[in-house]
Amino acid sequence: MDKKRVFSGIQPTGNTHLGNYLGAIKNWVAKQEEKENFFCVVDLHSLTVPQDPAQLRYETRSMAAILLAAGLDPEKCTIFIQSHVTAHAEGCWLLNCITPLGWLQRMTQYKDKSAKQESVLTGLLDYPVLMAGDIIFYDAHEVPVGEDQKQHVELARDIAQRFNSLYEQEFFVIPEPVIPEVGARVMGLDDPTNKMSKSLADKRGHAVRILDEPKEILRSFKRAVTDSGNEIVFSDDPEKAGVNNLLGIYKATTGKSEADVLADFADARGYGDLKKGVAEVVIEMLTPIRERYEYLMQDPAELDRLLAVGAEQARSVSQPKVDEMKQIMGLVLPG
């Protein structure tokens, strides 16, 4: 039987954090044997907000090295940079021409991000169409993402369905979001009512970044906002959001059941012990990744070689799909 195809992406905007790891990357690595995988460093998406060119170039390679260091194996999956495969930008135009504007204006991430900017770029509004193309040009069945990307994957489904119905054929596979049971929404350590986010990760105490040193990780957890009580319990009570977040991070990091997590903290003398316990398992998980990352970044030529192989594999799937789409839509292919 054919393996299910998986596509997912991550932006190279630096500050890759524990939420990105637990909500996405860790699950990509865990499932790479079972599926046919495409993982993409989505540099074109990063351009939807202003970037420093030199920084973006650095972060793009760095993001690819993080994925490899985290355990994605180029023998088992295709890892590539979005802009290396021109089908994404080309096909995005075609999808733009069948996507109603109102669908994009309703996207919650667009509304949030555009509200924070003085001048909103067209690319920011169009962001989910580019993302839809990423997924559907590969006929991906599954899209493993954190909770915050669910709406975008649903839009990709809508766009795929619209194309299929406009042109009266089952041309695109309708993709499904795959959201992990734990770790899908890691909250900020400084404000457990807001998700941990790359754009706030420079703020002291907000995030644990994948490449942070152990001392820094411990410091961030020690500073984590909790509550004035002392009960270590999983809870939906907004008052206990900080403790709930710490327990969720521990659970996602160790893979233990809630009962086993609580048993580990049964003798804790307060939140100090909880914070230290969470920091310890996170440091144990991230240290080998940081070390492998540093090793990989010493050999940029090898990194570029792996990415060139990935781009070639990705192109061989997505370019024929986009070419066929052009033909279906009435464009004349070069003779």
87 contacts ligand TYM (rule: CB under 6 A): no
14 contacts ligand TYM (rule: CB under 6 A): no
CA distances from 95 to 22, 62, 91, 128, 299 (A): 31, 30, 6, 10, 38
The C-alpha atoms of residue 226 and residue 240 are separated, in whole angstroms, by 7
Nearest approach in angstroms of CB 83 to ligand TYM is 12
135 contacts ligand TYM (rule: CB under 6 A): yes
Residue with the two structure tokens 């009266």: 168
Residue 320 DSSP SS3: helix
Give residues 192-221 in contact with ligand TYM (rule: CB under 6 A).
195-196
The C-alpha atoms of residue 198 and residue 11 are separated, in whole angstroms, by 10
The single residue among 145, 217, 218, 285 that binds ligand TYM, judged by CB under 6 A, is 145
The single residue among 48, 78, 99, 149 that binds ligand TYM, judged by CB under 6 A, is 149
19 contacts ligand TYM (rule: CB under 6 A): yes
275 part of the active site: no
113 part of the active site: yes
Give residues 280-319 in contact with ligand TYM (rule: CB under 6 A).
none
Residue with the two structure tokens 């001392």: 215
Residue 146 contacts residue 187 (beta carbons within 8 Å): no
Contacts of 108 (CB under 8 A, 6+ apart): 151
Nearest approach in angstroms of CB 40 to ligand TYM is 6
Is the Cβ of residue 8 or residue 78 nearer to ligand TYM in the bound state?
Answer: 8
- Dihedral of alpha carbons 282, 253, 189, 50, sign: positive
The C-alpha atoms of residue 226 and residue 275 are separated, in whole angstroms, by 10
Nearest approach in angstroms of CB 228 to ligand TYM is 25
Stretch that binds ligand TYM, among 16-24, 50-58, 241-249, 270-278 (CB under 6 A): 16-24
Give residues 164-193 in contact with ligand TYM (rule: CB under 6 A).
184-186
Stretch that binds ligand TYM, among 99-107, 127-135, 273-281, 324-332 (CB under 6 A): 127-135
Is the Cβ of residue 168 or residue 181 nearer to ligand TYM in the bound state?
Answer: 181
| Catalytic residue of the set 198, 222, 256, 326 | 198
Closest residue to ligand TYM: CB criterion: 23
What the block records as the tokens of 321 is 């799909």
Nearest approach in angstroms of CB 14 to ligand TYM is 11
In degrees to the nearest 10, what's the CA dihedral of 155, 156, 160, 165? 0
Burial, 301: exposed, middle or buried (Cβ in 10 Å; 0-12, 13-18, 19+)? exposed
Residues that bind ligand TYM (rule: CB under 6 A) add up to a total of 25
60 contacts ligand TYM (rule: CB under 6 A): no
Is the Cβ of residue 226 or residue 245 nearer to ligand TYM in the bound state?
Answer: 245
CA distances from 255 to 131, 183, 202, 333 (A): 30, 10, 28, 51
| Catalytic residue of the set 4, 31, 76, 113 | 113
67 contacts ligand TYM (rule: CB under 6 A): no
Residue 128 contacts residue 290 (beta carbons within 8 Å): no
The C-alpha atoms of residue 81 and residue 44 are separated, in whole angstroms, by 9
Residue 210 contacts residue 15 (beta carbons within 8 Å): no
The C-alpha atoms of residue 47 and residue 53 are separated, in whole angstroms, by 10
The single residue among 24, 69, 224, 279 that binds ligand TYM, judged by CB under 6 A, is 24
Active site residue ranges: 113, 195, 198
The residue ranges that bind ligand TYM (CB under 6 A) are 7-11, 19-20, 23-24, 42, 45, 131, 134-135, 143, 145-146, 148-149, 152, 184-186, 195-196
